[in-house]
Amino acid sequence: MRCKSLGVLLAVATLGTMNAAGQTQESTDKTVRATIQVKGDATATAKPDQAEIKIGVLTQASTGQAAAAQNAQKQEAVLAELRKVLGPGVEIKTISYSLSPNYRYPKEGGQPTLSGYTASNIVQVRTSDLAQVGKVIDVATQSGANTIEGLRFTLKDEQAVVSQALREAAIVAKAKAEALASALRLKILRVLHVDEGGQPARPLFAEAAAMRAGTAPPTPVEPGIIEVQATVTLTVEIAQ
């Protein structure tokens, strides 16, 4: 891991002195306190333990009522099949529903005409059985779903991975401070300030193309790994 920037900061400490009236006044001490500021970066990885799949049904009809009715019928069939595969404990929630008119626009210009309605119902399926993800996609498309918006692998509890990344970043920052102090023949007296930061967990997104019904093999899905990046900035006091 490459060293980024190392800054040496100087701070002047102030002490109180007594004036002739016995009152305290602040004055600048001649003592100079030197500090070193270093930054450590680290990345922790973990295997995902759950998957989120957005599955939708889109229908079109001449009337809004017909489009909505057809959509409800098809989506209910999809959900019934998904519950058979994943069991009654599967997490399914609706994340989007829309019913909108469709218009036909004349090539030569003029007023558009109503050509029908489109109904869309998208649900999010969450499962911890990653081995079933490919099958879930296939079952959904085979039972009537015509939209797979995305597949996302995540962690149920990412805090443990975040903590690991922070620990490793702190070790890197400490090692940098010690190396710099040693090279300058200085010693570290204490840690004055600690800042932590970084990027949230970055789940892998998989574009899963659903297989057609029949004897085709199930859709292949690879969960991969999840990365969490952390940064720790240390400000330490040094002396000769």
Taking only the tens place, the pLDDT of each residue in 94-135 is 999 999 999 999 888 788 999 999 999 999 999 988 888 999
**In this structure, are residues 240 and 234 in contact, taking their beta carbons and an 8 Å threshold?**
no
pLDDT tens-place string over residues 24-62: 344 444 556 789 999 999 999 999 999 999 999 999 999
Does residue 39 sit in the same domain as residue 61? no
pTM value? 0.66
Task: Residue 205: name the closest of 190, 185, 225 by CA.
Answer: 225
Does residue 85 sit in the same domain as residue 118? yes
Instruction: Give the helix, strand, coil percentages of the chain, each rounded to 5.
Output: 25, 50, 25
pLDDT of 5 reads 37
Mean of all residue pLDDT scores within the chain: 81
CATH number assigned to the domain comprising residue 106:
3.30.70.2970
Does residue 120 sit in the same domain as residue 139? yes
Does residue 35 sit in the same domain as residue 55? no
pLDDT of 203 reads 60
Does residue 54 sit in the same domain as residue 145? yes
Does residue 100 sit in the same domain as residue 68? yes
Q: Is residue 32 part of a domain?
A: yes
Q: How far apart are CA 134 and CA 148, in angstroms?
A: 12
Collapsing DSSP states into helix, strand and coil, what is residue 122? strand
| Predicted confidence (pLDDT) at residue 219 exceeds the cutoff of 70 | yes
Task: Residue 47: name the closest of 215, 233, 228, 168 by CA.
Answer: 228
Does residue 88 sit in the same domain as residue 141? yes
The whole domain housing 23 covers: 7-46+171-201+230-239
Please, which pLDDT band fits residue 214 given cuts at 50, 70 and 90?
very low
Task: Residue 192: name the closest of 34, 81, 45 by CA.
Answer: 34
